[in-house]
Structure 1
């Protein structure tokens, strides 16, 4: 059986020249530059950029942290500071009016003064410091993305700072409970000086306000740990890739 090769002019009509190229158009999306090798519409590019941005820069975590610190935590801290000052005023008045219980109120004033300093310090060197670090992650005024220089160690440092404040606030919280318990015991003992009518309500409310602060701090620590873990995962992937 004879073999007849195809005529080259016949085969050319089925062959198309496809030049090989490794160049791609670069399209920026916020702080990400995407180089697509196929045609993408602007809508598709925005969807892809948004998804990459979310995965690479932990926007959701930072957004939740910022909202929490600037809205709920800030208001709760201001309420607590205002209430501490109110109790201080109340104790000062009773210490002046009741010589026999003045020493008890002076002790409360010293305790409240130390607690006020701690809450102020947390507001300045804890919550505000963390807010400053988070605001540094903003890409521009309309959208934000984490600065690539932020690493897990920096987040771990922020976590340690907040955790230390939480421990100190917890110490005061436990002592406030102890004082309230003593107030309750005095109510049942007619042989002791009665001060419960003046201070027990304030202690109980102070405990409630302090508990809110502790819950807020624990929530912040949970979010920081989530962020730190996410960064560690990406850092390990970068190391082995």
Structure 2
């Protein structure tokens, strides 16, 4: 079949040249710059920008974590550390006053010193580190500072760090329970009931404070896992889009 192409001079009269323009008004909204190609009000831009910013930077879960860590968890950690130090001082006084039980008290004092070091290490290298990382990712609506993004691997790393501290603190928690059980059994010895009841009181309170800290850590791990899973799903979608 033969073809009869149109004459270029004939088709040229129907051709209209259109210039494509990429110019647009740019409106910064927190960490996002929105380019507008049609009429849109500033209020609408701000609404869209805040909504996108919340989704892209995971502000909701970051805010939940920061609120929990700074308003509850930090207080519980400080209270536990203060009680450990108070107990250490009281048992030191008992050890000085009762030379026959000084060896037993010495074991408890070494245990408390070691536990207090672990709690302080967790506070500085676990909880405070997590708070610092969260603040670096959080976008405050009142400012335009560009904060860093985070991926699922970084969240997984923080999860492993907190989980490791949880395991170590849990070991002390179980040992405190064992000591308390021995104290309770020894209460049958009336000649030592006064000393043992004092130690039992400190151990019981220590267990309660430690348990509260453990629960806080477990909730933090659940929230980090939730965030990590959401990021992994998002990253998976980005690979195919």
Q: Please tell me the TM-score bracket, short chain as reference.
A: 0.7 to 0.9
CA distance in 2, matches of 1:22, 1:76: 59
2:208 alignment partner, SS class: helix
CA distance in 1, matches of 2:19, 2:188: 92
Question: Please, which runs of 5 or more residues in structure 1 have no aligned partner?
Answer: 1-16
Q: What is the aligned partner in structure 1 of residue 148 from structure 2? A: 147
For normalisation by structure 1, the TM-score amounts to: 0.85
Tell whether the 8 Å contact from 2:63 to 2:138 is kept in structure 1 after alignment: no
1:93 aligned to 2:93?
yes
| Alignment coverage as a number of residue pairs | 222
Q: Deviations over 1:81-101 (max 9, x none)?
A: 110011101111111111222
1:118 aligned to 2:118?
yes
CA distance in 1, matches of 2:113, 2:139: 40
CA distance in 2, matches of 1:168, 1:67: 25
Deviation at 1:203, TM superposition (A): 0.7
Deviation at 1:62, TM superposition (A): 0.9
1:127 aligned to 2:127?
yes
Question: Please, which runs of 5 or more residues in structure 2 have no aligned partner?
Answer: 1-15
CA distance 1:145–1:75, change in 2 (3 Å): farther
Matches within 5 A, 1:156-195: 156-190=156-190, 193-194=192-193, 195=195
Q: What is the aligned partner in structure 2 of residue 29 from structure 1? A: 29
Tell whether the 8 Å contact from 1:53 to 1:145 is kept in structure 2 after alignment: no
Tell whether the 8 Å contact from 2:31 to 2:147 is kept in structure 1 after alignment: no
Deviation at 1:125, TM superposition (A): 0.5
For normalisation by structure 2, the TM-score amounts to: 0.85
Tell whether the 8 Å contact from 1:59 to 1:145 is kept in structure 2 after alignment: no
Tell whether the 8 Å contact from 1:96 to 1:102 is kept in structure 2 after alignment: yes
CA distance 1:199–1:145, change in 2 (3 Å): farther
CA distance in 2, matches of 1:146, 1:58: 12
